[in-house]
Amino acid sequence: MWSMGGTDDPLARALAEVVGSEHVLTDPELRAGYERDWTGRFQGRARLVVRPGSTAETAEVVRRCAEAGAAIVPQGGNTGLVGGSVPRGGEVVLSLARMSRVEPIDETASQVTAEAGATIAAVQEAARASGLEYPVDLASRGSATVGGTIATNAGGMYVGRYGPTRAQVVGIEAVLADGSIVSRMGGLLKDNTGYDLAGLFCGSEGTLAVVTRARLRLVPALPRRAVAVVGLGSLGEAAELGALLRKEVESVLALEAFFPEGAELVHRHLGVSLPFERHPGCYLLVECGSREDPAPELAAALERHLGSEWAVLGTTGPERARLWRLREGHPEAIAAEGIPQKLDVTMPLARLGLFEREVRRRLASSVPGARPILFGHIGDGNIHVNVLGADPNDERVAEAVFTLAAELEGSISAEHGIGVAKVRWLHLTRSEADIRAMRAIKRALDPTGILNPGVLFPAE
Ligand SMILES: Cc1cc2nc3c(=O)[nH]c(=O)nc-3n(C[C@H](O)[C@H](O)[C@H](O)COP(=O)(O)OP(=O)(O)OC[C@H]3O[C@@H](n4cnc5c(N)ncnc54)[C@H](O)[C@@H]3O)c2cc1C
């Protein structure tokens, strides 16, 4: 018999033989940081935490867990927002944090190979030192990992320009549920030899394999930047202006939106100054990047469509950082206010304005006291609906938001995934046939269901 978190657990002893006893955490105090998610909304007890240092060790850990019938929750930076990275009760947490090596940049191919536990910030820094960029960027860059962003197919600010994480993955190495290793790390841009396993693992949320290394595409650096924050009447107007700018200004990299209620929280909790004397109905942030200074072209386009009263332009590093902080500070400022429900949806671009008006109306009528704070990557139709003032487990919130997203032919998950938080609503934007096909893939690759049970589908 083993006891939860006990040193008398035979699995703990078996895993210690593989990774060393200092990397098998059974003490509740040492486990605690791995058992609670970033939002504080999701937590559960782990049987133990294991921290392999190499692909070979990860494979042996998975093999021994499979032999013992022990379920595994893979974990990277633990910044996921849908509860998929923390245990629900008694699983082994397999942390990739020790596997954080970024190999030298392959400048001929403009690619980099990194271990799963490398942070996005570390990959970005390595790329920049070679005059290149890793085009996935998100506010959690300092903690979010290569493996976690692949497992969630993370999006972030620059999806409209470069695509999500899946579009950057040119090679993958992963451990399957029986401990075998699949490796496609050649970095070939053309390689049509059967099923695209790398693409399949992107967005699989730790349910099909444990990613151990990846080869990633890099893009030329665009060192000259300009950021504008613009005040508009509504999200619909922001989406229209965004579409015009994307058409007319080649250097547009990011189009982000936020609203007075979120800007107020960022101002209050993080001390960031507001750009205008009064709030507009909706804020639009535009970032442009180029080898030449993109500011004149951006300023001219804003002048044509807007006039200058409701626009501020940042060209120096500190000015741009301050404007970005207004938008990027949202998750932190909201967390400082309380535990929110975080719902992340995509809309067809033409319906963003309608969604915004209607979601506020439906939440007000179905969940009294709910405080919606909206922001998002609107260039991609992606709106994060954060809701304070409601019990974190009050399902009426998700019901109202996801039902509306489905009615308007959007998606209930733009970039965070399904995790455990959205399992109940998967059927809203995936058909029965779709879900059957996904389950068949899961059973084929993980027949005993040890990889992240309860994520994506109800545990069987
Ligand atoms: C402040 C803040 C801002 C954010 N902004 C964005 C944003 O703009 N865009 C966006 O897409 N997301 C965003 N996120 C969400 C989060 O950062 C991403 O989902 C990120 O990809 C998670 O990476 P991680 O390493 O923290 O993974 P974790 O949180 O550890 O895990 C996430 C999921 O991936 C699985 N997993 C982790 N590592 C592996 C692995 N090696 N192999 C297999 N499965 C694995 C886990 O089991 C879990 O299901 C944000 C989060 C925060 C806190």
What does pTM read for this prediction? 0.95
Average predicted confidence (pLDDT) for the chain: 95
**Which atom from ligand 1 is nearest to the alpha carbon of 205?**
49
Q: Which pLDDT does position 248 carry in this prediction?
A: 95
CATH number at residue 190: 3.30.465.10
Relative to beta strand 91-95, strand 46-50 is: parallel
Answer whether residue 449 shows pLDDT above 90: yes
Last residue of a domain, one of 95, 130, 155: 95
β partners of residue 36: 43
CATH number at residue 68: 3.30.43.10
Classify residue 460: in a domain, yes or no. no
Relative to beta strand 210-217, strand 169-175 is: antiparallel
How many of the other CB atoms lie within 10 Å of CB of 168? 25
User: Of 41, 2, 10, which Cα lies nearest the Cα of 335?
Assistant: 41
Averaged pLDDT, 98-104: 98
Classify residue 446: in a domain, yes or no. no
Classify residue 345: in a domain, yes or no. yes
Residue 243 shares a structural domain with residue 196:
no
φ, ψ of residue 69 to 5 degrees: the values are 65, 30
H or E element that contains 256:
strand 252-258
- Rounded to whole angstroms, the Cα distance separating 171 from 152 reads 16
Residue 353 shares a structural domain with residue 429:
yes
C-alpha of residue 173 to centroid of ligand 1, in Å: 18
Classify residue 440: in a domain, yes or no. no
Per-residue pLDDT tens over the stretch 174-217: 999 999 999 999 999 999 999 999 999 999 999 999 999 999 99
Residue 214 shares a structural domain with residue 228:
no
Residue 187 shares a structural domain with residue 233:
no
φ, ψ of residue 75 to 5 degrees: the values are -140, 135
Q: Which of 78, 138, 207, 413 to mutate to test the pocket of ligand 1 (most atoms within 8 A of CB)?
A: 138
List all residues 6 or more positions away from 390 whose beta carbon is below 8 Å from its beta carbon. Answer: 341, 367, 369, 370, 396, 397
CATH number at residue 392: 3.30.70.2740
Q: Which of 81, 256, 339 to mutate to test the pocket of ligand 1 (most atoms within 8 A of CB)?
A: 81
- Rounded to whole angstroms, the Cα distance separating 373 from 351 reads 18
In this structure, the residues whose C-beta lies within 6 A of any atom of ligand 1 are: 38, 73-81, 84-85, 96, 116, 138-140, 143-145, 147-149, 151-152, 154-156, 205-206, 210-211, 331, 415-416, 452, 455
Q: Which residue minimizes the CA distance to atom 52 of ligand 1?
A: 140
Classify residue 439: in a domain, yes or no. no
Classify residue 5: in a domain, yes or no. no
pLDDT band at 2 (very low <50, low <70, confident <90, very high): very low
Q: Which residue minimizes the CA distance to atom 2 of ligand 1?
A: 140
C-alpha of residue 150 to centroid of ligand 1, in Å: 8
List all residues 6 or more positions away from 128 whose beta carbon is below 8 Å from its beta carbon. Answer: 221
- Rounded to whole angstroms, the Cα distance separating 131 from 259 reads 35
Residue 38 shares a structural domain with residue 83:
yes
C-alpha of residue 417 to centroid of ligand 1, in Å: 9
- Rounded to whole angstroms, the Cα distance separating 312 from 299 reads 9
User: Both tokens of residue 153?
Assistant: 């197919």
Residue 69 shares a structural domain with residue 159:
no
The rounded percent of the chain whose pLDDT value lies above 70 is 98
Residue 73 shares a structural domain with residue 17:
yes
Residue 145 shares a structural domain with residue 169:
yes
C-alpha of residue 38 to centroid of ligand 1, in Å: 10
- Rounded to whole angstroms, the Cα distance separating 429 from 422 reads 11
CA Rg value for the chain: 22
Residue 72 shares a structural domain with residue 124:
no
User: Both tokens of residue 216?
Assistant: 């990633």
Q: Which pLDDT does position 39 carry in this prediction?
A: 86
C-alpha of residue 292 to centroid of ligand 1, in Å: 34
**Which atom from ligand 1 is nearest to the alpha carbon of 81?**
15
Residue 343 shares a structural domain with residue 257:
no
Give the total number of structural domains in the chain.
4
Classify residue 458: in a domain, yes or no. no
Helix and strand tally (H, E) in the chain? 16, 17
Answer whether residue 276 shows pLDDT above 60: yes
Classify residue 319: in a domain, yes or no. yes
Residue 19 shares a structural domain with residue 85:
yes
Q: Which of 91, 115, 140, 204 to mutate to test the pocket of ligand 1 (most atoms within 8 A of CB)?
A: 140
β partners of residue 49: 25, 93
CATH number at residue 314: 3.30.70.2190
205 and 152 in contact (C-beta within 8 Å)? yes
C-alpha of residue 79 to centroid of ligand 1, in Å: 5
173 and 213 in contact (C-beta within 8 Å)? yes
Residue 360 shares a structural domain with residue 429:
yes
Instruction: Provide the domain limits for residue 128.
Output: 111-220
Per-residue pLDDT tens over the stretch 116-171: 999 999 999 999 999 999 999 999 999 999 999 999 999 999 999 999 999 999 99
